[in-house]
Amino acid sequence: HASTKPPPTPSPLRSAKFFQANMRILVTGGAGFIGSHLVDKLMENEKNEVIVADNYFTGSKDNLKKWIGHPRFELIRHDVTEPLLIEVDQIYHLACPASPIFYKYNPVKTIKTNVIGTLNMLGLAKRVGARILLTSTSEVYGDPLIHPQDESYWGNVNPIGVRSCYDEGKRVAETLMFDYHRQHGIEIRIARIFNTYGPRMNIDDGRVVSNFIAQAIRSEPLTVQAPGTQTRSFCYVSDMVDGLIRLMEGDNTGPINIGNPGEFTMLELAETVKELINPGVEIIMVENTPDDPRQRKPDITKAKELLSWEPKIKLRDGLPLMEDDFRTRLEVPRKN
């Protein structure tokens, strides 16, 4: 049976370096929001060498500026839809635009990134014997018919909708991961990420947390999309990075949900941002977009049991940590 094949031996190039006991890690999409925080954490370990491959579609060199020139760090302008020939031990495969306005901008490119990009990273993992982690998404559950969502739920996804390039793209990426695992013995890890927030989020990506923080800082009304009773669960980025590293280092393929189960309505979120960032700001109700999921909350039982992971940072504590970064980028200094 294919599934009993032993994992492939590492490439000779990496084997020669084995006794150095260092770990060479590729982070695709490492110039993005989550990727750059992951790089910060990986770089803290002096045994890690980190290579970022990114095409800068939604990411920026600015997010990595403190590492550029560091001897254990390398940054490559590279599009994952093209083959990549390097020697690494681990691959964190994050490359993919994450917010609807960016992934809908060029949906064909989004699906190529998910399908061909993941295929290429799996081909690379196979060639060099690397372990590969995919950042999948809660969107694979689509408009879920069960709540909260655990990993055994197969989802309720529209195959021909405007979000399909992203959610069906990630579903195919998960399929490819498991097929390479079963057919070629590749070591895989799949994280299903739920809404994540923190410094370095794109300011103009239309996501609710970045919108509200930017609006509060500019003293513009916070735009709650009707009805405002819809819920989301927000995970602070350092908790997310911690979960991804535990998943990579552990023994479970996943898929494993990683997110914060604390659930808030969008009105509650607006009230909290107002209170913490700018008590003088107004909250207004605006029209919503079609197909907005009514509720979303991760079931993280598996992450707790298998990774001994759970988020530590509460929303009220995480939101203020974004203020300085957003003020700098928006060029709105604090008043006092």
What positions carry a catalytic annotation? 166
Q: What is the Cα–Cα distance from 148 to 89, expressed in whole angstroms?
A: 35
Which of these ranges, 30-38, 47-55, 206-214, 297-305, lies near ligand UDP under the rule CB under 6 A? 206-214
Binder of residue 288, out of ligand NAD, ligand UDP, none (CB less than 5 to 8 A by kind): ligand UDP
Q: Which two tokens stand for residue 304?
A: 């707790």
124 binds ligand UDP (CB under 6 A): yes
Q: Which is nearer to ligand NAD, 103 or 180 (CB)?
A: 103
Using CB under 6 A, pick the residue from 8, 107, 123, 185 that binds ligand UDP: 123
HSE, side-chain direction, 13 A CA sphere, residue 58:
29
The number of angstroms, rounded, from the C-alpha of 230 to the middle of its chain's C-alpha atoms is 22
Q: At its nearest, how many Å lie between ligand NAD and the CB of residue 50? A: 14
Q: At its nearest, how many Å lie between ligand UDP and the CB of residue 116? A: 8
137 binds ligand NAD (CB under 6 A): yes
Cβ 45 vs Cβ 53: under 8 Å: no
Site string for ligand UDP, 226-245 (x = CB under 6 A): ----x-x-------------
Give the helix, strand, coil percentages of the chain, each rounded to 5. 40, 20, 40
Which of these ranges, 20-28, 29-37, 79-87, 255-263, lies near ligand UDP under the rule CB under 6 A? 79-87
Cβ 27 vs Cβ 86: under 8 Å: no
Q: What is the Cα–Cα distance from 142 to 177, expressed in whole angstroms?
A: 20
Cα distances (Å, whole numbers) of residue 135 to 192, 201, 280: 6, 17, 38
Residues in 90-129 at the binding interface with ligand NAD, rule: CB under 6 A? 94-98, 113, 117
Binder of residue 85, out of ligand UDP, ligand NAD, none (CB less than 5 to 8 A by kind): ligand UDP
Q: Which two tokens stand for residue 111?
A: 């699906």
Cα distances (Å, whole numbers) of residue 272 to 116, 185, 242, 277, 279: 41, 47, 25, 8, 9
Using CB under 6 A, pick the residue from 35, 142, 198, 318 that binds ligand NAD: 35
Q: Which is nearer to ligand UDP, 68 or 145 (CB)?
A: 145
202 binds ligand UDP (CB under 6 A): no
The pairing of beta strand 188-193 with beta strand 131-137: parallel
Cβ 182 vs Cβ 331: under 8 Å: no
- Which spans of this chain sit near ligand NAD (rule: CB under 6 A)? 28-29, 31-35, 54-59, 79-81, 94-98, 113, 117, 135, 137, 193, 195-196
